[in-house]
Structure 1
Amino acid sequence: MNRIQVLSEEVISKISAGEVVERPASVVKELVENSLDAGAKNIVIEIKNAGKKLIRVSDDGSGMSKEELPLALERYATSKISSLLDLKRINTLGFRGEALPSIAAVSKFILISRKENSNNGYRIYAESGKIKENYETGSPVGTTVEVKDLFYNTPARLKFLKTDSTEKEQIFNIIYDLALAYPETSFRLIDEEKEVLNCPGVDNPKSRIAQLFGYQILEYLFPFTETINFYKISGFLSYP
């Protein structure tokens, strides 16, 4: 039997990435949730080869500064919590600071961002989680993340992925779920350079349902609201 030994940081990163990044849809979910946490009102998702060749998520959220960009690829670095007390009042979709470093560890990763009060944007390029380039660049306010060649350095993970049609379906389901939950946010999905979803922001959930599933479905739905202890649930149900 082999002796117990401490794993290298590179191996640890790739193992840890598996807990967050199971498939292309996992990447899309984490990136879009980051955009929503940043207050984005317009989010564009682009994919190629079912997300294996490219996933690009662009938003008009709050953006990151030059100093924050490299920190975004450090594990457990986050802007969403700073103390144990914060864990009791989390109001964001993500908070652990694991998503971006986990994604970067198993891809060729580009992060471009600009804050509203900054004249310039900044760009980072990383491979296998290691930063190769970091420089100033032109950029609109907000953040763009490009994930290229997902799992290129962990080929065994590629073998566990399903067919392209199945992986695409998983991505579409994630976008539909988030679009339903955030009707005020505009979502665009582009597959192989062809727009397959365009949902401008609306002021109520019913309008978003109509955008995604057609107006004819509305006559079969009724709203509900339920409060249990500290939890309030609202939504729509269909008649049997």
Structure 2
Amino acid sequence: MERPASVIKELVENSLDAGAASVDVEVVQGGVKRMRVRDDGLGISRDDLALALSRHATSKVASLEDLEGIRSMGFRGEALPSIASVSRLLLTSREHGADEAWSLDGDAGEPAPAAHPQGTTVDVQDLFYNTPARRKFLKTEKTEFR
């Protein structure tokens, strides 16, 4: 992840891959302070929330044959773990047909019950808070917002 725009791009692509008909994007202070992407896609099950934040883990490739016919925008399992490693990330999701939603802090731990409609919300705060050298190279808030 190089800038807020690259984070938004990855999150919106994940939403589209999940079959979302609606994707809402919220940006605060050019994305450096906060970015939130909420969709109405298929959602992520409680058991898969931690997997979604694990490096090189993806639900988009189930067999070797799937690699020959990739039709999704993201399939390497790198976006969410990379974003979580340079920000404070909260992943909240309710799988299609599920009775309840679950939330997982990017710093690991166990999923906790949450109030959320069907779909997924990725809330990214304080981008590059733990990598000051990366934060130093960001442009002004207005430029990053563009």
TM-score by length of 2: 0.96
Structure 1 residue aligned with 2:67: 87
Is structure 2 residue 111 aligned with structure 1 residue 134? Answer: yes
Structure 2 residue aligned with 1:185: none
Q: Percent identity?
A: 55
Structure 2 residue aligned with 1:158: 135
Structure 2 residue aligned with 1:68: 48
How far has the Cα of 1:166 moved from its partner? 1.5
How far has the Cα of 1:132 moved from its partner? 4.1
Structure 1: gaps of 5 or more residues: 1-20, 170-240
What code does the residue aligned with 1:164 have?
A: E
How far has the Cα of 1:157 moved from its partner? 0.2
Is structure 2 residue 92 aligned with structure 1 residue 112? Answer: yes
Structure 2 residue aligned with 1:167: 144
Aligned mates of 1:30, 1:62 — CA distance in 2: 17
Aligned mates of 2:64, 2:83 — CA distance in 1: 26
What code does the residue aligned with 2:36 have?
A: R
Structure 2: gaps of 5 or more residues: none
Are the equivalent residues in 1 in contact too, given 2:102–2:114 (CA < 8 A)?
yes
CA RMSD, 1 decimal: 1.0
Is structure 2 residue 78 aligned with structure 1 residue 101? Answer: no
How far has the Cα of 1:83 moved from its partner? 3.4
1:174-216 CA-to-partner distances (Å, cap 9, x unmatched) read xxxxxxxxxxxxxxxxxxxxxxxxxxxxxxxxxxxxxxxxxxx
Aligned mates of 1:48, 1:110 — CA distance in 2: 16
How far has the Cα of 1:82 moved from its partner? 2.7
1:131 match: secondary structure: coil
Pair member with larger Rg: 1
Structure 1 runs of 4+ aligned residues shifted over 4 Å read none
Aligned mates of 2:97, 2:65 — CA distance in 1: 30
TM-score by length of 1: 0.59
Give the paired residue count: 146
